[in-house]
Protein backbone atom coordinates (compact mmCIF):
# COMPACT_ATOMS: atom_id res chain seq x y z
CA UNK A 1 0.00 0.00 0.00
CA UNK A 2 1.44 3.39 -0.89
CA UNK A 3 2.05 5.97 1.86
CA UNK A 4 -0.87 8.30 1.15
CA UNK A 5 -3.42 5.46 0.94
CA UNK A 6 -2.06 3.86 4.11
CA UNK A 7 -2.06 7.21 5.95
CA UNK A 8 -5.69 7.87 4.97
CA UNK A 9 -6.77 4.33 5.94
CA UNK A 10 -5.12 4.34 9.40
CA UNK A 11 -6.18 7.91 10.23
CA UNK A 12 -9.75 7.00 9.32
CA UNK A 13 -9.64 3.98 11.67
CA UNK A 14 -8.04 6.06 14.44
CA UNK A 15 -10.63 8.82 14.09
CA UNK A 16 -13.38 6.21 14.42
CA UNK A 17 -12.27 5.37 17.97
CA UNK A 18 -14.54 6.95 20.55
CA UNK A 19 -12.93 9.29 23.10
CA UNK A 20 -13.63 6.57 25.69
CA UNK A 21 -11.73 3.97 23.62
CA UNK A 22 -8.81 6.39 23.15
CA UNK A 23 -8.74 6.99 26.90
CA UNK A 24 -8.94 3.28 27.84
CA UNK A 25 -6.26 2.21 25.34
CA UNK A 26 -4.02 5.13 26.30
CA UNK A 27 -4.31 4.05 29.94
CA UNK A 28 -3.12 0.50 29.10
CA UNK A 29 -0.21 1.99 27.13
CA UNK A 30 0.60 4.22 30.13
CA UNK A 31 0.97 1.13 32.35
CA UNK A 32 3.37 -0.52 29.87
CA UNK A 33 5.26 2.76 29.49
CA UNK A 34 6.07 3.20 33.18
CA UNK A 35 7.15 -0.44 33.54
CA UNK A 36 9.49 -0.13 30.57
CA UNK A 37 13.18 -0.24 31.68
CA UNK A 38 14.25 2.56 29.29
CA UNK A 39 11.66 4.87 30.84
CA UNK A 40 12.79 3.97 34.35
CA UNK A 41 16.44 4.73 33.42
CA UNK A 42 15.82 7.94 31.46
CA UNK A 43 16.35 11.25 33.21
CA UNK A 44 15.18 13.47 30.28
CA UNK A 45 12.29 12.36 28.05
CA UNK A 46 10.98 14.29 25.04
CA UNK A 47 7.23 13.73 24.58
CA UNK A 48 4.97 14.74 21.71
CA UNK A 49 1.82 16.65 22.70
CA UNK A 50 -1.11 14.56 21.52
CA UNK A 51 -4.03 15.24 19.23
CA UNK A 52 -7.47 14.05 20.48
CA UNK A 53 -7.34 10.77 18.48
CA UNK A 54 -3.69 9.91 19.28
CA UNK A 55 -2.31 7.94 22.22
CA UNK A 56 -2.76 10.55 24.95
CA UNK A 57 0.43 12.00 26.45
CA UNK A 58 -0.86 14.58 28.94
CA UNK A 59 -1.09 12.15 31.84
CA UNK A 60 2.23 10.52 30.88
CA UNK A 61 3.90 13.94 30.98
CA UNK A 62 2.29 14.92 34.30
CA UNK A 63 3.26 11.56 35.88
CA UNK A 64 6.82 11.79 34.53
CA UNK A 65 7.20 15.26 36.07
CA UNK A 66 5.83 13.96 39.40
CA UNK A 67 8.54 11.28 39.34
CA UNK A 68 11.13 14.05 39.30
CA UNK A 69 12.30 13.36 35.76
CA UNK A 70 12.99 16.13 33.26
CA UNK A 71 10.52 16.55 30.40
CA UNK A 72 10.92 18.24 27.05
CA UNK A 73 8.27 18.88 24.39
CA UNK A 74 8.59 20.06 20.79
CA UNK A 75 8.36 23.68 19.72
CA UNK A 76 7.51 23.44 16.03
CA UNK A 77 8.95 25.98 13.59
CA UNK A 78 6.51 25.39 10.74
CA UNK A 79 8.32 27.48 8.10
CA UNK A 80 11.65 25.73 8.70
CA UNK A 81 10.01 22.32 9.30
CA UNK A 82 12.02 22.15 12.47
CA UNK A 83 11.49 20.81 15.99
CA UNK A 84 13.14 22.59 18.90
CA UNK A 85 13.08 20.62 22.17
CA UNK A 86 12.00 22.79 25.11
CA UNK A 87 11.96 22.05 28.83
CA UNK A 88 8.51 21.66 30.37
CA UNK A 89 8.05 22.01 34.12
CA UNK A 90 4.39 23.04 34.36
CA UNK A 91 1.89 21.52 31.93
CA UNK A 92 -0.83 24.05 32.82
CA UNK A 93 1.22 27.24 32.52
CA UNK A 94 3.89 26.70 29.87
CA UNK A 95 1.89 25.56 26.81
CA UNK A 96 -0.18 27.34 24.16
CA UNK A 97 -1.87 26.45 20.88
CA UNK A 98 0.60 25.85 18.07
CA UNK A 99 0.36 24.87 14.41
CA UNK A 100 -2.43 22.41 13.48
CA UNK A 101 -4.14 22.93 16.86
CA UNK A 102 -1.39 21.02 18.69
CA UNK A 103 -0.23 22.38 22.02
CA UNK A 104 3.37 23.51 22.17
CA UNK A 105 5.64 25.40 24.57
CA UNK A 106 5.43 29.17 24.60
CA UNK A 107 8.01 30.87 22.36
CA UNK A 108 10.12 31.96 25.35
CA UNK A 109 10.64 28.36 26.44
CA UNK A 110 13.97 27.13 27.81
CA UNK A 111 15.65 25.10 25.06
CA UNK A 112 17.09 21.68 25.82
CA UNK A 113 20.41 20.41 24.48
CA UNK A 114 19.43 17.60 22.13
CA UNK A 115 22.39 15.51 23.34
CA UNK A 116 20.92 15.40 26.86
CA UNK A 117 17.72 13.66 25.74
CA UNK A 118 17.68 10.00 26.83
CA UNK A 119 14.38 8.95 25.26
CA UNK A 120 12.18 10.45 22.53
CA UNK A 121 8.50 9.52 22.38
CA UNK A 122 7.78 9.73 18.65
CA UNK A 123 4.28 10.16 17.21
CA UNK A 124 3.13 8.52 14.01
CA UNK A 125 0.19 7.39 11.94
CA UNK A 126 1.24 3.80 11.16
CA UNK A 127 4.09 1.51 12.19
CA UNK A 128 5.44 -1.91 11.33
CA UNK A 129 7.27 -4.25 13.70
CA UNK A 130 10.65 -3.27 12.21
CA UNK A 131 10.07 0.25 13.55
CA UNK A 132 9.32 1.93 10.22
CA UNK A 133 6.88 4.73 10.84
CA UNK A 134 4.55 6.73 8.70
CA UNK A 135 4.01 10.28 9.93
CA UNK A 136 1.82 13.03 8.54
CA UNK A 137 4.23 13.52 5.65
CA UNK A 138 5.96 16.81 6.54
CA UNK A 139 9.20 15.18 7.72
CA UNK A 140 9.55 17.12 11.00
CA UNK A 141 10.43 14.07 13.08
CA UNK A 142 12.68 12.42 10.47
CA UNK A 143 14.79 15.60 10.37
CA UNK A 144 14.81 15.84 14.17
CA UNK A 145 15.63 12.16 14.81
CA UNK A 146 18.74 12.43 12.58
CA UNK A 147 20.19 14.94 15.08
CA UNK A 148 19.92 12.66 18.14
CA UNK A 149 22.91 11.25 19.96
CA UNK A 150 23.65 7.59 19.16
CA UNK A 151 22.74 6.70 22.76
CA UNK A 152 19.28 8.29 22.63
CA UNK A 153 16.50 5.71 22.26
CA UNK A 154 13.18 6.20 20.49
CA UNK A 155 9.80 4.75 21.35
CA UNK A 156 6.46 5.24 19.64
CA UNK A 157 3.11 4.95 21.36
CA UNK A 158 0.54 3.36 19.10
CA UNK A 159 -2.86 1.78 19.19
CA UNK A 160 -2.73 -1.81 17.94
CA UNK A 161 -4.88 -0.78 14.91
CA UNK A 162 -1.95 1.38 13.72
CA UNK A 163 0.41 -1.61 13.43
CA UNK A 164 0.60 -2.88 9.84
CA UNK A 165 2.61 -5.58 8.05
CA UNK A 166 4.85 -3.14 6.21
CA UNK A 167 5.25 0.63 6.17
CA UNK A 168 6.79 1.78 2.88
CA UNK A 169 10.11 3.40 3.79
CA UNK A 170 12.81 5.37 2.02
CA UNK A 171 16.51 5.57 2.94
CA UNK A 172 16.05 8.95 4.72
CA UNK A 173 13.21 7.60 6.93
CA UNK A 174 14.30 6.94 10.51
CA UNK A 175 12.95 3.86 12.30
CA UNK A 176 12.05 3.80 16.00
CA UNK A 177 13.64 1.39 18.49
CA UNK A 178 10.45 0.34 20.30
CA UNK A 179 6.68 0.60 19.94
CA UNK A 180 4.29 0.37 22.88
CA UNK A 181 0.66 -0.54 22.14
CA UNK A 182 -2.20 -1.34 24.48
CA UNK A 183 -1.31 -5.04 24.06
CA UNK A 184 2.49 -5.28 23.89
CA UNK A 185 5.94 -3.75 23.68
CA UNK A 186 7.63 -4.34 20.33
CA UNK A 187 11.42 -4.37 20.18
CA UNK A 188 11.96 -3.22 16.59
CA UNK A 189 15.64 -4.20 16.58
CA UNK A 190 14.77 -7.86 17.05
CATH number, domain of 62, equals 3.40.50.10420
| Most confident among 88-92, 94-98, 139-143 (mean pLDDT) | 88-92
Q: Nearest to residue 137, comparing CAs of 1, 2, 4?
A: 4
pLDDT of 72 over the 90 cut: yes
* Mean local confidence (pLDDT), 34-43: 96
As for how many domains the chain has, the answer is 1
* Mean local confidence (pLDDT), 34-52: 96
This prediction has a pTM of 0.94
pLDDT of 7 over the 90 cut: yes
Contact 10, 165 (CB under 8 A): no
- Which residues does residue 73 pair with via DSSP β-bridges, in sequence order? 86
Q: Looking at residue 175, what DSSP letter applies?
A: P
* Mean local confidence (pLDDT), 49-72: 96
| Per-residue confidence (pLDDT) for residue 108, from 0 to 100 | 85
Burial (CB < 10 A; 0-12, 13-18, 19+), residue 108, is exposed
Coil vs helix vs strand at 8: helix
* Cα–Cα distance list, 7 to 43, 67, 96, 177 (Å): 33, 35, 27, 21
Supply the range of the domain harboring residue 160: 3-187
State the alpha helices, DSSP H only, in the chain. Answer: 3-15, 19-35, 37-41, 58-66, 140-145
Query: Considering the chain, what is the average pLDDT of its residues?
Result: 93
Burial (CB < 10 A; 0-12, 13-18, 19+), residue 105, is buried
Amino acid sequence: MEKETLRHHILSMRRNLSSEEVKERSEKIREFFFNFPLVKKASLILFYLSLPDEVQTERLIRDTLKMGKKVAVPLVKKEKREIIPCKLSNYDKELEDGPWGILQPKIKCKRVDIKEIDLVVVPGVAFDEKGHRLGFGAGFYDRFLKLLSSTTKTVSLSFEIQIVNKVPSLPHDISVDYIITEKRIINCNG
